[in-house]
Structure 1
Amino acid sequence: MLPQSNAPEVLFPDSLLVEVAWEVCNQVGGIYTVIRSKVPATVPAWGSRYCLVGPYFPNMAQGEFEAFDDLTVHTASDPFGAAVRTMRAQGYDVCYGTWLVTGRPRVVLINPFQAYNKLGELKSDLWQRHGIPSPDNDDLLHQVIAFGHLTTIFFQHVAAQVKPKQRLLGHFHEWMTGVAIPELRRLQVPAHLLFTTHATLLGRYLAMNDPDFYDHLMWVNWENEAKHFNIEPAVKMERAAAHGSHVFTTVSELTVRECIYLLDRIPDAVLPNGLNIERFVALHEFQNLHQQYKAKIHEFVMAHFFQSYAFDLDRTLYFFTSGRYEYHNKGFDLTLEALARLNHRLQQSGLDGQVVMFFITKRPYTSINPQVLERRALLDEVHETCQAIERQVGERLFYAAAASQDHKLPDLSNMVDDYWRLRYRRTLQSWKTNTLPPVITHNLVNDQDDDILNFMRRASLLNHKHDRVKMVYHPDFVSPASPLLGMEYGQFVRGCHLGVFPSYYEPWGYTPLECVARGVPAITSDLSGFGDYVLETIPEPESKGIFVVHRQEKSFDESAEELCNMMWDFVLLNRRERIMQRNAVESSAELFDWKNLRVHYDRAYALALERQ
């Protein structure tokens, strides 16, 4: 019987665990969040018997990795350190140290470029031994092949350090690391190998190009399609890893079907993703944090909109969506259609208030829109003028109160100098304009071909005064360095009222989970791994502020109407109801803590140890 994963007791005391991922100390996408957030729940159970392996890119590892000063200290009873020392003695460029994240796990980083002088031989071996082709003009593939070769060598040296009755587990994430698996099996290295695909490579390409991807999945000729999208080498690496591993896993029940039809192997286990919830928990202060960061969003909204027209911020709700720019896969198309319907419904209803919708994604741009920057600068000037008048009036009011025998409040306008009266008037005159607030904050490289902008133009979602849904398209990730929002992404999420993520293709989906972790209600879909998991495991998720749009076996129109209804119902909530809902969301976050979800990994490791 397996130990409970929320307890810190030692797991599999006779085993070593090496977890290999391309995004160890190398933030590229969602796998980075998976690996990094899981570490604090993994280290207590495995301790010094756990090690992570990734590629060494100095510019990426710079702020995340700290090398051990003296490697000799880490060789006597440390099989990973001994393996690194042996490789160094053979002339390999290998780093050993700790990842500077919660849990401080041991990390081995291997420079893939050191094996480039052997690429011809390695590519020839891949083709002859495993039937995997590799073109000459793809540098990512070259890095992957070189890293796979060096990882194989590292595993051989670790296996040589394994003591009698000890066993070695190797857990590989995604196709970029899986190229080592078939070679480890060919060499009969004594290691129990697991491979996890977080999203099949071919599945992502097909979903982006086929609006009926799920209906056509069982008829896909994987080899023809891989050649069509020019990804045959990577797809064959993924298939070789899936078939060569002792245990094959994926992250959601949705991707199980993908694996069956595109990789021809039924996954042995599903490993749902979690978060290290403690990183986000602020005990009883999370409502205060919402107010604090909402005030910062207010500042942006005032600068962006109030130069043209004003509205009541107390009756304004902030919705947002975010993620990689995949217009169809991420459900941006469905979100925009539902927002257009919501805008019309709100206009017809006569209800007070409005919605400001933020689209946060990444697109090529030339600069921040100068008009947006100017609006922010002018509002700052208005603010400074008001603060100067406030200081002057405050000082004079205090003197008048102390000297007066009258208890009545004096005329405050008489306490302002003519200079500040004139400055106030001129500042406001230069501030106000009749132009519409921009719908986008940056100048895109090619805005005529941008699907989000083109939908806004067609639907006339252009921030007219009468629009009740206002649009802010921010084609860059949120950061404290930005002169517009000036906060971290997590702070921005806390300041919003609702996250909207009705994805069409999303093997897991961290964005709604990150909302839940911060006490913010979120909309997901039953075509995302997270949404599917919620429907399977949580009774009445709506009561916990998690809403799931049905997209399986539904038309686009039906799903858009359901999403519009969800947002409409949210708009109808009063302040007290929204506070209660945020409390319910925050209290449910623990369900997705790695301390509870790590048990799925434990079971997969137990299964791998049973297989030879």
Structure 2
Amino acid sequence: MRTKSEKSRRSSTRRISKSNISKTLLCEVAWEVCNQVGGIYTVLRSKAPTMVRKWGDHYCLVGPYIESQASAAFDPLPLDPSDPFAKATLNLREKGFEAHYGEWLVSGRPRTVLINIDGVYDRLGDYKYHLWENHDIATPSDDGLLNKTLAFGYVTELFFRELARPTVTNKHVLGHFHEWMAATPILNLRRDNIPVSTIFTTHATLLGRYLAMNDPDFYDHLPFYDWHKEALNFNIESQVKIERFAANAADVLTTVSEITAQECVSLLGRQPEEVVPNGINIERFTAFHEFQNLHIEYKERIHQFVMAHFFQNYTFNLDKTLYFFTSGRYEFKNKGFDVTLEALAKLNYMLQREDSDMTVVMFFVTRQPFNSINPDVLQSRAMMEELRQTTKGILKQVGERMFYAAASGTDYELPNLNEFVDEYWKLRFRRTLQSWKNDRFPPIVTHNLEDDANDEILNTLRTSNLINKPEDRVKVVYHPDFINSTNPLFGIDYMQFVRGCHLGVFPSYYEPWGYTPLECMACGIPAVTSDLSGFGEYVIDNMNEPENKGLVVNNRKDADFQASADQLARKLYKFTQLDRRERIDMRNKTESASTFFDWKNLVHHYEKAHNLALSRLKERVK
């Protein structure tokens, strides 16, 4: 854990001044620039408007050219030789490399260089040889992803060499590299003393993620790991060496949380100079005062799914139903799926014991290999839609005939509505219901998994007997694919789904930062995080009474598994006891508190790192 003096030293670092920005070029480099893969894409995209406002045309992003993504998210610009980023791109082209210069079509429209690595592989042998000769990094030839990142790193290094030439610019050059997949240029830029100051940000150490998934006492063992032995054990020696050596070669090392800073010390061998917590672009989520209405709108869409999924078997009161969810990559322990499932079983018992009339539907939204959507799930949805069309037809016929009867009759009493329905509609109504209704338990998982028998979520639900029985007050829907607007089961995108839920549940064991609870807050949806996530730790250190703002931080640092599950179950139970007015008030407080995490309020951490890198560059080139 960081000492108070270390945190104080960080806080005393000054932000970069406007005067220094005017004399400096900043390039942020990542594999996920204009290439949506994971969380770093969200970091860069959401931060872009703030960075462009601060740096203007002195700021540029560098990423790989992936045609399928660039075609929709990248707009080319003319290669103006007076623009140093464009000039460096032009120089690369003249040397035979395919590089594109333009704007990333996200808020802020930041200048962006995209590098096509397809034509680089014939030069990769020499690059790999020099990595081994100069840096003791041996790289296998059969690792496709590693080869791609090395090819990207090779051309990115050449881009910085061109950018730093006096004939291209007389300004200072900062290169900010995110994660090991973009880190190899740091090694040679430092070795050859190229006048580029480098910042390396690890969002999660690669080895730390592997160890946390496989060691139940990861944090206790963290100071004692032999990094090289463990890297060999997981067959990731090349990647770990790239990450470790880049972290030590960079002028400035940063990471996203105090928790990950501990990993850097133990696994990378260096203490980060700055912690750069991840913010969010609140403008992207702003619905002014409409977020309550949006919650109602998208909750109704979730109602439609729930009716199709459950009501063919049994019913419950949707007005007394709460929608909880968790989401993220499938890491059963790291993402806290294990403790969430244990807490849900306890919650189910608590609600059953008091004979509660509340129902909780818990959604697990992650990605696992599957063959297809469960045909029974699709069939049930189709049959419910048929029932909807049937009832609309009956309603139309009854309305027309009832109006005529009332206008032309002399009886002031409400007539028998059955008399207005043809036998055709009566028969269709009956057959539709008979075809739809059955007495089976609703399925837990919406898709046919490739390895159903060994899925940890399913096996835990089976062991705890939480299998959507009628008497269960907690129902579970496991959706092993990410939700988007083309999804045939929901028909809404992920953030709309989030807005329709009542609570996000993310009690992670290993989470260097954690965007999902922050996205919930921005949508006005309360959330659970943990004190072992970077976000949760930041909340504890920087927010007063977070629970009153709709943010519960579950204790996992000083509690064992059962104690954490017990605490989470109590917090979930407490949430089920809120009435509708209290939940509305909580959503208002949550949405208001989310502005605390706007990039406008957090980007100063990056500014400190950039200022420190610039000062070290000036010392180096004296």
| Aligned residue number for residue 597 of structure 1 | 602
1:3/1:11 contact within 8 Å kept: no
- Confirm whether residue 65 of structure 1 aligns to residue 104 of structure 2: no
1:82/1:161 contact within 8 Å kept: no
Q: Per the alignment, in what secondary structure is the counterpart of residue 494 of structure 1? A: helix
Deviation at 1:409, TM superposition (A): 2.6
TM-score, normalising length: structure 2: 0.95
Change (3 A) 1:204 1:166: same
Correspondent of 1:519 among 510, 521, 524: 524
| Aligned residue number for residue 19 of structure 1 | 28
| Aligned residue number for residue 505 of structure 1 | 510
Distance in 2 (CA, whole Å) between partners of 1:164 and 1:57 is 28
Distance in 1 (CA, whole Å) between partners of 2:456 and 2:156 is 41
Distance in 1 (CA, whole Å) between partners of 2:335 and 2:402 is 56
| Aligned residue number for residue 213 of structure 1 | 218
**Structure 2 unaligned blocks of 5 or more:** 1-11, 618-622
Correspondent of 1:440 among 445, 455, 477: 445
| Aligned residue number for residue 371 of structure 1 | 376
Task: Within 5 Å, give how 1:218-297 maps onto structure 2.
Answer: 218-297=223-302
- Confirm whether residue 424 of structure 1 aligns to residue 429 of structure 2: yes
1:16/1:166 contact within 8 Å kept: yes
- Confirm whether residue 611 of structure 1 aligns to residue 611 of structure 2: no
Change (3 A) 1:428 1:161: farther
Deviations 1:113-159, CA, capped at 9 Å, x for gaps: 32211222111100111111111111111112221111111001111
Distance in 2 (CA, whole Å) between partners of 1:10 and 1:288 is 45
TM-score, normalising length: structure 1: 0.97
Task: Within 5 Å, give how 1:41-440 maps onto structure 2.
Answer: 41-68=50-77, 70-71=78-79, 74-76=80-82, 78-161=83-166, 166-440=171-445
2:324/2:362 contact within 8 Å kept: yes
Distance in 2 (CA, whole Å) between partners of 1:274 and 1:556 is 30
Deviation at 1:397, TM superposition (A): 2.2
| Aligned residue number for residue 43 of structure 2 | 34
Structural RMSD (CA): 1.6
Distance in 2 (CA, whole Å) between partners of 1:448 and 1:114 is 43
- Confirm whether residue 457 of structure 1 aligns to residue 462 of structure 2: yes
Distance in 1 (CA, whole Å) between partners of 2:20 and 2:13 is 9
Change (3 A) 1:19 1:161: farther
Distance in 2 (CA, whole Å) between partners of 1:172 and 1:305 is 48
Q: Per the alignment, in what secondary structure is the counterpart of residue 403 of structure 2? A: helix
Deviation at 1:164, TM superposition (A): 7.6
Distance in 2 (CA, whole Å) between partners of 1:142 and 1:4 is 37
Distance in 2 (CA, whole Å) between partners of 1:389 and 1:161 is 79
Distance in 2 (CA, whole Å) between partners of 1:10 and 1:66 is 30
Distance in 2 (CA, whole Å) between partners of 1:141 and 1:161 is 33
Deviation at 1:166, TM superposition (A): 2.2
Change (3 A) 1:285 1:326: same
Deviations 1:60-118, CA, capped at 9 Å, x for gaps: 322211222x32xx222x10001111111221111111111111111101112322112
Distance in 2 (CA, whole Å) between partners of 1:270 and 1:302 is 46
Distance in 1 (CA, whole Å) between partners of 2:541 and 2:150 is 39
Distance in 1 (CA, whole Å) between partners of 2:221 and 2:603 is 34
Q: Counterpart amino acid of 1:50?
A: Y
Task: Within 5 Å, give how 1:559-578 maps onto structure 2.
Answer: 559-578=564-583
Q: Which range is displaced more, 469-478 or 404-413?
A: 404-413
Change (3 A) 1:321 1:418: same
Distance in 2 (CA, whole Å) between partners of 1:2 and 1:212 is 34
Deviation at 1:480, TM superposition (A): 1.2
Deviation at 1:484, TM superposition (A): 0.6
Change (3 A) 1:225 1:2: closer
1:2/1:602 contact within 8 Å kept: no
1:20/1:170 contact within 8 Å kept: yes
**Share of identical aligned residues, percent?**
57
Distance in 2 (CA, whole Å) between partners of 1:417 and 1:486 is 34
Deviation at 1:161, TM superposition (A): 4.9
Deviations 1:144-183, CA, capped at 9 Å, x for gaps: 2221111111001111157786211110000011110010
Distance in 1 (CA, whole Å) between partners of 2:251 and 2:405 is 84
Q: Counterpart amino acid of 1:402?
A: A
Change (3 A) 1:354 1:155: same
Q: Counterpart amino acid of 2:150?
A: I
Deviations 1:348-406, CA, capped at 9 Å, x for gaps: 01121210000000000000001101100110010000000111111122223333444
2:333/2:509 contact within 8 Å kept: yes
Distance in 2 (CA, whole Å) between partners of 1:409 and 1:314 is 29
Q: Per the alignment, in what secondary structure is the counterpart of residue 72 of structure 2? A: coil
1:79/1:162 contact within 8 Å kept: no
Distance in 1 (CA, whole Å) between partners of 2:515 and 2:111 is 25
Distance in 1 (CA, whole Å) between partners of 2:188 and 2:298 is 51
Q: Counterpart amino acid of 2:586?
A: Q
Distance in 2 (CA, whole Å) between partners of 1:512 and 1:113 is 38
2:213/2:333 contact within 8 Å kept: yes
- Which consecutive aligned stretches of 4+ in structure 1 deviate over 3 angstroms post-superposition? 1-5, 161-165, 404-408
Q: Per the alignment, in what secondary structure is the counterpart of residue 400 of structure 1? A: helix
Distance in 2 (CA, whole Å) between partners of 1:63 and 1:27 is 12
**Number of aligned positions between the proteins:** 606
Q: Per the alignment, in what secondary structure is the counterpart of residue 552 of structure 2? A: strand
Q: Counterpart amino acid of 1:75?
A: P
Distance in 1 (CA, whole Å) between partners of 2:81 and 2:330 is 45
Distance in 2 (CA, whole Å) between partners of 1:92 and 1:505 is 40
Distance in 2 (CA, whole Å) between partners of 1:181 and 1:492 is 41
Distance in 1 (CA, whole Å) between partners of 2:422 and 2:318 is 31
Distance in 1 (CA, whole Å) between partners of 2:14 and 2:183 is 29
2:120/2:151 contact within 8 Å kept: yes
Deviation at 1:422, TM superposition (A): 1.5
Distance in 1 (CA, whole Å) between partners of 2:117 and 2:243 is 19
Distance in 1 (CA, whole Å) between partners of 2:27 and 2:81 is 16
Deviation at 1:47, TM superposition (A): 1.0
Q: Per the alignment, in what secondary structure is the counterpart of residue 289 of structure 2? A: helix
Correspondent of 1:467 among 472, 475, 478: 472
| Aligned residue number for residue 588 of structure 1 | 593
Q: Counterpart amino acid of 1:61?
A: A
Distance in 1 (CA, whole Å) between partners of 2:171 and 2:403 is 79
Q: Counterpart amino acid of 2:108?
A: G
Change (3 A) 1:381 1:508: same
Distance in 2 (CA, whole Å) between partners of 1:4 and 1:398 is 73
